[in-house]
Chain A
Amino acid sequence: MNREQVRQDFLEMIKPHVRIPDLSTISDESLLTDDLKVNSARFVDIILEAEDRFKISISDEEMERFERVGDAVDFICKKKIAA
């Protein structure tokens, strides 16, 4: 799975949680909570879904790394390579 595929899958996954009108503005620099208005209370659900979808496991500490879209995508890619 290449990075672009992971990125598309990740964006598809977080789409129901994103509360901005124009999804085409999302970039790797977009902050999940501040820019995309993802409810921070729902973060745990995004993590669980990422674990299921990408068949990886994410610890509570690693969860902290999901700040920007790019960070999350890079993290998932690294985890998949290691798996």
Chain B
Amino acid sequence: MARVVITGMGVVAPNAVGLDAYRIALCEGRSGLAFSQQMKDLNFGCQVVGVPPVSDELAERCMGPLLFKNSNSSMKYGAIAAVECWRDAGLELPTPDSDADWGTAAIIGTCVGGIDTIGDFVAPETNAGRVRRLGSSAAERVMSSCMSACVGGLLGLGGQVTSNSSACATGSEALIDAYWMIREDRIDRVLAGSSEPASIYTWACLDALRVAMRQSNENPRAAARPLSASAGGLVPSAGAAILMLESLESAQARKARIYAEVLGGHSNSGGQRNGGSITASNPEGIQRCVKQAVEVAKVKPEDIDYINGHLTGTGADAKEIKCISAALGRNLAEMPWINATKSLIGHGLGAAGSMESVATILQLVNGFLHPSINCEDFNPEIAELRPRVPQTAVRAHSRIAMKTSFGFGDVNACVLFRRWDN
């Protein structure tokens, strides 16, 4: 059984593009959320959104002119993140005529993949009787695996190239699935992560479900309020993040820089029973997930220094905290440090788990914790937790961190990392 380490990362987040910029934005507590005139014009209740500041020039440089022209937002984000991750892992970008890289796979998931292509292009052209105008690339842009296929072709990957999808648990689940592929000696390297498009059609569905924050349109940076008494819903966002998971043996053989070890993780579902539903978690499911992840990781609950929570800024935050507290057997006042990256970048849906995992690793490696902003009015239901939540950036030499993600469908994912100390 191989040990699994992280040797590269790439990120396209609402508050920063690229690892260095992201690290600085996290440390500064910089929000990537902004008011959307388009959402206001279309009568959305929530008119705040987080869209990565990606330039066409950067996307075209990563993808080449033809792929850039035939891509949608999740493909662009995924490609930029993948190219950064590849280079960050110390690898040379392959050329189009290179051999396939049989030793590297990709699991790059999404919630709603090609929805912008469908909504903006395929549906109107088809309904107007102009099917012919769709051209050759509509098919590869609408499929849910559009971003993994795009990255697979860019990098010539010859292992399994797939996209998982488990709503807001997608990004963390990709890491867990990649972990097992390497742990079980099935492959040496996996690009694992996720990408979520910027599309009003996705955000419209969340708005109609009335889970998005409507009370902060005039103050977008205050809209994402995980852990606060005045949390009023999630703030939708888009982006991508990809991590290179690699067997320790492979990493050491090529003298790769190692960020952290993936100690293990677990995905499960609460069955939409016992208080769970399509949109709510079964508390027992969360606890089982966390306990099993800790067991797989072979750590003691008291050794966990830091948790990057799912924490969406909805009424589910307190339930999440109580379930994790119960699963770890640590009362609220004695919980690990915990923060909510969503307070800065909104809810990236399928990309949330991976963007937040990159945030987790950056904090582990660089010895800080980013502020969990907008919870000055802390949720009184979990008041004892307050001292464990940094509201300004703090120095913290965390060694073992846990990332939790929970998604529609009552699905759960929990993964643990340990900083790599040479």
Query: Is residue B252 contacting chain A, with contact meaning CB distance below 8 A?
Result: no
| Residues of chain B with a CB closer than 8 A to A16's CB | 64-66, 69
Q: How many positions in chain A have a CB within 8 Å of any CB in the partner chain? A: 9
Q: When chains A and B are docked, how far (Å) is the Cα of A41 from the Cα of B66?
A: 13
Which residues of B are at the interface with A, using a C-beta cutoff of 8 A? 64-66, 69-70, 96, 132-133, 135-137
The answer to whether A43 has its CB under 8 Å from any CB of chain B is yes
Q: Which of B64, B66, B133, B136 has the most CB of A within 10 A?
A: B136
Residue of B nearest to A15 (CB): B65
Instruction: Say whether A45 contacts B137, CB under 8 Å.
Output: yes
CB distance from B221 to the nearest CB of A (A): 40
Residues on A with C-beta less than 8 A from B64 are: 16
Q: In the complex, how many residue pairs between chain A and chain B have their CB atoms under 8 Å apart?
A: 21
Measured in the bound complex, the distance between the Cα atoms of B121 and A48 in whole Å is: 15
| Bound complex: CA A54 to CA B187 (Å) | 50
A42–B139 Cα distance when bound, in Å, is 12
Do B136 and A17 have beta carbons less than 8 Å apart?
no
Closest 3 CB pairs of A and B: A16-B66, A45-B135, A16-B65
On whether the beta carbons of B136 and A42 are closer than 8 Å, the reply is yes
B135→A48 contact, CB < 8 A: yes
- How far is it, in angstroms, between the C-alpha of A16 and the C-alpha of B96 when the chains are bound? 14
Taking CB as reference atom, which chain A residue is nearest B96?
A19
Contact mask for chain A residues 7-25; partner B; CB cutoff 8 A; 1 contact, 0 none = 0000000001101000000
Nearest CB of chain B from residue A69's CB, rounded to whole Å: 18
Contacts of A3-61 to chain B: CB distance below 8 A: 16-17, 19, 41-45, 48
The CA-CA distance from A55 to B227 in the complex, in Å, is 58
Are A41 and B69 closer than 8 Å at their CB atoms? no
For the complex, give the distance between the alpha carbons of A72 and B207 in Å.
50
